[in-house]
Chains A and B, each alone.
Chain A
Amino acid sequence: MIRYLITRVLSVIPVVGVVTAIVFGLTYLSPGDAAAVLAGDYATPAQIAAIRESLHLDDPLVVQYLHWLKNIIRGNLGNSLFSKQPVLNLILSRVEPTIILAAAATVVQITVSLPLGLLAAQKRGGIADRLVSLFGVAGTAIPPFLIGYVLIYTFGVYYGSMPVSGFPGFDSGVTEVLRHVLLPATMLGFAQTALITRITRASAIEVLNQDFIRVARAKGLDDFTILVRHCLKLIAVPLVTVVGMSFAGMLGGVVITEAVFAIPGVGSLLVEAIQHRDVPVIQGVLLISACVYVMVNLLVDLSYPLMDPRIKYT
Chain B
Amino acid sequence: MKIKLMTSTSRTTAVRRLLTTAFVGVLSVGAAKADTLRVIEGSALKIVDPIVTTSGDTQIHGYLIYDKLFEFDSSGTPHPQMADKVDVDSDKKTYTITLRKGLKFSDGAPITTDDVIQSLKRWESRDVVGGLLGSRTKEMVKVDDLTFRIELNEPFDVPSALASTEGNVPFIMPKRVASLPPTEQLTDTTGSGPYKFDYSTWKPGQTPVYTKNSFYTPRNDPPSFYWGKKEATFDKIEVSYIPDPNTAMAAMLTGKQDIWLTPAIDNALALRKDPKLVVSKGYFVQSLFVVNHEVPPFNNIKATEALTYLIDQREVMQISVGDPQFWHPCYAYLTCEGKYGDESAYSGHRGAADFDKAKELFREAGYDGKPIVIFDLTDWAEAHARSLYLAQQLRKIGVQVDLQAMDWATVTSRRTSKAPASEGGWNLFPTYMEVGPASSPITHLMLAANCDKAWFGWPCDEKLEKLRAAFASAVDENEKKKITFELQARASAYFPFVMTGEYGVPIVYGADIEGFNPEAPYAYFWNIRRKAK
Contact = CB atoms under 8 A, between A and B. Distances in A.
Contacts of A83: 46-47, 185, 204
A33 interface: yes
A288 to B, nearest CB: 16
Given A44-B453, A85-B204, A50 B183 contact: yes
Interface string A37-53: 11111101101101100
B46 A164 contact: no
Contacts of B19: 159
A57 B230 CA distance: 43
B284 to A, nearest CB: 18
Nearest to B205: A264
Interface string B43-84: 010110000111100000000000000000000000000000
A149 B246 contact: yes
A82 B46 CA distance: 7
B24 A164 contact: no
Interface stretch (B96-104, B237-245, B304-312, B319-327): B237-245
A32 B47 contact: no
A296 B498 CA distance: 55
Given A40-B53, A176-B29, A259-B243, A32 B409 contact: yes
Contacts of A155: 23-24
A162 B412 contact: no
Contacts of B24: 155, 159, 161-162
B381 interface: no
Interface stretch (A131-139, A230-238, A267-275): A267-275
Given A32-B410, A40-B55, A54-B183, A164 B205 contact: no
A78 interface: no
Given A82-B47, A83-B47, A175-B27, A164 B409 contact: no
A115 to B, nearest CB: 16
Interface stretch (B251-259, B334-342, B462-470): B251-259
Interface string A110-153: 00000000000000000000000000000000000100010011
A159 B242 CA distance: 21
B207 A166 contact: yes
Contact of B44 (A32, A85, A152, A272): A272
B183 to A, nearest CB: 6
B510 to A, nearest CB: 15
Contacts of B407: 32, 275
Interface string B209-248: 0000000000000000000000000000000111110111
A178 B453 CA distance: 55
Contacts, number: 149
Chain A interface size, under 10 / 10 to 19 / 20 to 34 / 35 or more: 35 or more
B47 A261 contact: no
Interface string A69-105: 0000000000010111100011001100000000000
A31 B242 contact: no
Chain B interface size, under 10 / 10 to 19 / 20 to 34 / 35 or more: 35 or more
A89 B200 CA distance: 13
A47 to B, nearest CB: 8
Contacts of A163: 31, 256
A42 B247 contact: no
A163 to B, nearest CB: 7
B412 A259 contact: no
B397 interface: no
Contact of B412 (A33, A268, A269): A33
Contacts of A94: 203, 205
Nearest to B410: A31
B409 A41 contact: no
Nearest to A169: B206
A260 B413 contact: no
B78 to A, nearest CB: 20
A160 B204 contact: no
| Most interface-central of B26, B168, B183, B445 (chain A CB within 10 A) | B183
A262 B240 contact: yes
A44 B24 CA distance: 54
Given A162-B24, A164-B254, A260-B244, A42 B412 contact: no
B20 interface: yes
A266 to B, nearest CB: 10
Given A82-B47, A155-B23, A179-B27, A93 B203 contact: yes
A157 B248 CA distance: 11
A93 B205 contact: yes
Nearest to B437: A42
5 contacts: A38-B52, A83-B46, A159-B20, A262-B248, A264-B206
Given A40-B54, A157-B254, A275-B407, 9 more contacts: A31-B414, A47-B126, A51-B183, A82-B47, A83-B204, A89-B203, A163-B256, A261-B244, A264-B206
Interface of A: 31-33, 36-42, 44-45, 47-48, 50-51, 54, 80, 82-85, 89-90, 93-94, 145, 149, 152-153, 155-157, 159-166, 175-176, 178-179, 182, 259-262, 264, 268-269, 271-272, 274-277
Interface of B: 16, 19-20, 23-24, 26-29, 31, 44, 46-47, 52-55, 126-128, 167-168, 183, 185, 187, 203-207, 240-244, 246-248, 250-251, 253-254, 256, 379, 406-407, 409-410, 412-414, 416, 445, 453, 455
